Amino acid sequence: MKYVLLLIPCICALAAPYYNVIEPRAFGFPFFYWFNLALIPVSMAFIYVAGKVGGDQ
Amino acid sequence: MNVVATSVFIFFFLLVTVLGFWASRWKAGDLNSLHQWGLGGRQFGPWVTWFLIGGDLYTAYTVIAVPGLVYALGAYGFFAVPYTVLMYPLAFLLMPRFWNVCAKHGYVTAGDFVLGRFGSKWLELAVSVTGILATMPYIALQLLGMEIVIRGLGFQGEGLMAHVPLTIAFVILALYTYSAGLRAPAVIAFVKDIMVYVFVIAAVVYIPYQLGGFGSMFDGAGKVFEGMVAAGAAANPPKVVSAGLTLTQSQIWPFLTLAVGSTLALFMYPHSLTGVLSANGPKTIRFNMTMLPLYSLILGLIALFGLMGRAAGLDLKNTGDVVPQLFLKFFPDWFVGFSFAAIAIAALVPAAMMSIGAANTFTRNIWRPFVNAQMTDKQESDMAKLISLVVKVGALLIIVGVQTQFALNFQLLGGIIMLQIFPALCFGLFTRKVHGQPLLIGWAVGMVLSLVLIWISRTPAGAIVPMWSSPLGIGLYIGVVTVAANALVSYVLSLVMPNVGTDETMATDYLDAKL
């Protein structure tokens, strides 16, 4: 479970062929840019939960 | 020279100088032991570690080079964001285990770990030499970042005179690193990070506002890139320009493999491991691998400066000048001085950490095993202090005496060879199936293959291009190709070769100690 949680943000980061587009925009940011930036806090959440689930090992 | 900006710059520089010298008294310990001088006594809690590793990984060179690349190519330069997203899940798995085994056996460097884990002096040497070679140009590039902002202040000089401010800054850095060791960058990192956060957030709000909002900033930059592509196509002979708000088809594989390769390499650098080992425990490290991505958010915003430079119509020959020029164009002098000081101080923290990491490595893994096996703690820390000076002087000479292009080439090469120790560390931490001799052979295969691919991919002018046009018709980051070969060779040979090394670690050494 821990590994799956850590893998999800990585797969998103590697999905360049899918996020390499301009639309839809958010706050003027093309999709390529806001998706990447938004992925950072999302990855933090996944790592946090992975730590909770995985305990200290 | 810009008097107001320079005065503010000097004020902040003096402030951190005082802090750097004061640092030797902070959380006092006996600085005559390498454990204290070179690791700060393994006592830094979650927040000190956060500032320290953050200051260590997100360097002045990053602040200059990432926007420079975005300014030059657009979306491609944004590889830094997926790179840093990939980095922390991986480090979250590796680094607590690394800390545990190192604390248990008193290891200070990756070389110490490799010797203990695989019992191979030659693998230890290979890992250590790789780390030092990759670190040298990295320090030089921190100096380059500092020099770019000093030039932005309007300091002009001829010949060697042009390097006087940089030399002064560096002598100061060398002196307080010598006296305080790792405590110096730990203290300075606080000031540096707060300053960087302030200037980045101010700039990311104010400059796009001046350019008519984020939407028109992106559109403006996009138009400039389209113009560049059209101009390339219309030129005689036609030139393919790959730049734009999104990646071209041919850029996707280089973008992804560069992100992956950079991820695998980053925590292999001696200065990264030094930062990790100075933490007070595995819980602190897990906390940091969760919280450090906040710096990546700042890095992502810094990358946007490259697009702002395009939208603001800056036309620069040297893409590295985009951040200083953008600030000079939009901000009052005092804020320019503040921002430039933040960048210069951002060079000091990693430069100090890198020289300490390289010095620890040289002392423990080259001098002790091969020259003097009977060193006392005092001799060991004296040697490391001396080497930290030598390493810094070497970096300064690269910048002053040799062409910048050499430092850049050397740095690209450094990133690729740094990857070659990843199999030894990763297999070492997670499996007993792979052993020392096969890893040494795998390392050699990776190094030779890297040099061959770099040689056949170079430009006609001799510049290093870290991408290899593979027979599959796609461009791949050379480091990823060669580390894959390295890992495969190591694994397969481990199946057929006998294990001749002794392993002094036990499976429980890698797990958190039970209190």
Question: Which of B75, B256, B290 is facing A14, going by the closest CB pair?
Answer: B256
Counted residue by residue, chain A has a size of: 57
| Complex ipTM more than 0.90, yes or no | yes
Which residues, in sequence order, are CB contacts of B122 under 8 Å at separation 6+? B440
Question: Does residue B208 register a pLDDT over 70?
Answer: yes
Q: Please tell me the predicted confidence (pLDDT) of residue B158.
A: 65
| Residue B467 DSSP class | E
Question: Does residue A57 register a pLDDT over 60?
Answer: no
- Whole-number Å distance between alpha carbons of B21 and B129: 30
Judge whether B406 and B398 are in contact, CB under 8 Å: yes
| Residue A56 DSSP class | T
Torsion angle in degrees (nearest 10) through CA of A25, A26, A30, A32: -110
Question: Which of B245, B255, B297 is facing A16, going by the closest CB pair?
Answer: B255
**Nearest residue to B286 (alpha-carbon basis) of A44, A9, A13:** A44
Alpha helices, DSSP H, located in B181-213: 183-210
Average pLDDT over residues B313-328: 87
**Nearest residue to A48 (alpha-carbon basis) of A12, A19, A6:** A6
Question: Does residue B57 register a pLDDT over 90?
Answer: no
Q: Please tell me the predicted confidence (pLDDT) of residue B28.
A: 67
Q: Please tell me the predicted confidence (pLDDT) of residue B46.
A: 86
Instruction: Name the closest residue on chain B to residue A5, using Cα atoms.
Output: B89
* Residue B321 Cα distances to B8, B317, B340, B445, angstroms: 20, 8, 12, 38
Question: Does residue B33 register a pLDDT over 90?
Answer: no
Domain ranges of chain B: 25-403
Contacting residues of A for B304, CB less than 8 Å apart: 33
Q: Please tell me the predicted confidence (pLDDT) of residue A56.
A: 55
Tokens of B351: 């430069």
Judge whether B7 and B337 are in contact, CB under 8 Å: yes
Question: Does residue B160 register a pLDDT over 70?
Answer: no
Cβ of A43 and B282 within 8 Å?
A: no
Interface test with A, best of B73, B84, B95, B214 (most A CBs within 10 A): B214
Q: Please tell me the predicted confidence (pLDDT) of residue B515.
A: 59
Amino acid at B33: S
Judge whether B311 and B117 are in contact, CB under 8 Å: no
Question: Does residue B7 register a pLDDT over 70?
Answer: yes
Domain that includes residue A23, residue range = 2-54
Judge whether B101 and B275 are in contact, CB under 8 Å: no
Q: How confident is the model at residue B467 (pLDDT cuts 50, 70, 90)?
A: confident
Greatest C-alpha distance within chain B = 72
Question: Please, what sign has the CA dihedral across residues B502, B507, B508, B510?
Answer: positive
Got the DSSP string for A13-52?
HH-HHHH---PSPBTTB-HHHHHHHHHHHHHHHHHHHHHH
pTM for this model (two decimals)? 0.89
pLDDT tens-digit map of B100-146: 999 999 898 999 999 999 998 999 999 999 999 899 888 888 888 88
Q: Which of A24-33, B16-25, B182-191 has the highest mean pLDDT?
A: A24-33
Nearest 5°: the CA angle B91, A57, B114 is 55
Which residues, in sequence order, are CB contacts of B54 under 8 Å at separation 6+? B189, B193, B292, B295
Counted residue by residue, chain B has a size of: 515
Q: How many domains does chain A have?
A: 1
State the DSSP H helix or E strand holding residue B477, giving kind and residue range, or none if neither. strand B475-477
φ, ψ dihedrals at B476, nearest 5°? -125, 145
Cβ of A20 and B246 within 8 Å?
A: yes
Cβ of B89 and A20 within 8 Å?
A: no
Residue pairs between chains A and B whose CB atoms are closer than 8 Å: 106
Judge whether B280 and B45 are in contact, CB under 8 Å: yes
> Going by DSSP bridges, is the β-strand pair B467-469/B475-477 parallel, antiparallel, or unpaired?
antiparallel
The domain B25-403: what is its CATH number? 1.20.1730.10
